[in-house]
Amino acid sequence: MKSKMFISAALACCLICTVFFATAQSAAQPYRTGAGLLIDVGEGVTLVGPHVKHFFAPNHAGEAALLFGGGVTSLQAMYQYNQPIGELNGLQWYLGIGGNIFFEEDVDATFGIVPAAGLDYKIAKAPIALSFDWRPKFLLYDGDSEFLAARFGIGLRFTF
């Protein structure tokens, strides 16, 4: 019951944020490609590894990561819709959706659906971008499923 209420509240929050930020003025992305380190923390095991974010168009980006931790290897890819926040140069909000595959020794692969809502900030006059997002995971394995709501991503990228 609590998880259904949490999911409903999270979806309502995402909808409100989308409507609120839909009026944001579109502008060119502050960088084209960034590569660096992603830390995926929260409920469950902490994962760390390289990741890349690339803008295909001013508001549309793809992100890929290869993460390791606690005997688990995770490969994930995500589409992200980005919008600048008002007049704050380099600061954007984004919503994304993607998938991941978890590999663990002596265990079948676990597949997951990963939505994301977060902020991306490109530091002016420096080739560095930072990101923070909420990325809950819906995991599917062996005919069962699991929802990890308390998952967050922290990214540090060198931009070019």
Instruction: Give the pLDDT confidence score for residue 78 in this predicted structure.
Output: 97
What mean pLDDT, rounded, does the chain reach?
85
Please state the rounded mean pLDDT for residues 13-26: 40
Label residues 58-91 b or e (16+ Cβ within 10 Å = b).
Answer: ebebebbbebebeebbbebebebebbbbeeeebe
Cα(16)–Cα(37) distance, integer angstroms: 30
Q: All domains of the chain, ordered by start, with CATH?
A: 2-159 (2.40.160.20)
**Which two tokens mark 113?**
């659906």
Please state the pTM of the whole predicted model: 0.79
Burial class (CB in 10 A: 0-12, 13-18, 19+), 148: middle
Q: In terms of Cα–Cα distance, which of 43, 46, 73 is closest to 138?
A: 43
Bigger pLDDT: 21 vs 94: 94
Residue pLDDT, tens place only, 81-94: 999 998 888 999 99
How confident is residue 28, by pLDDT bands cut at 50, 70 and 90? Answer: low
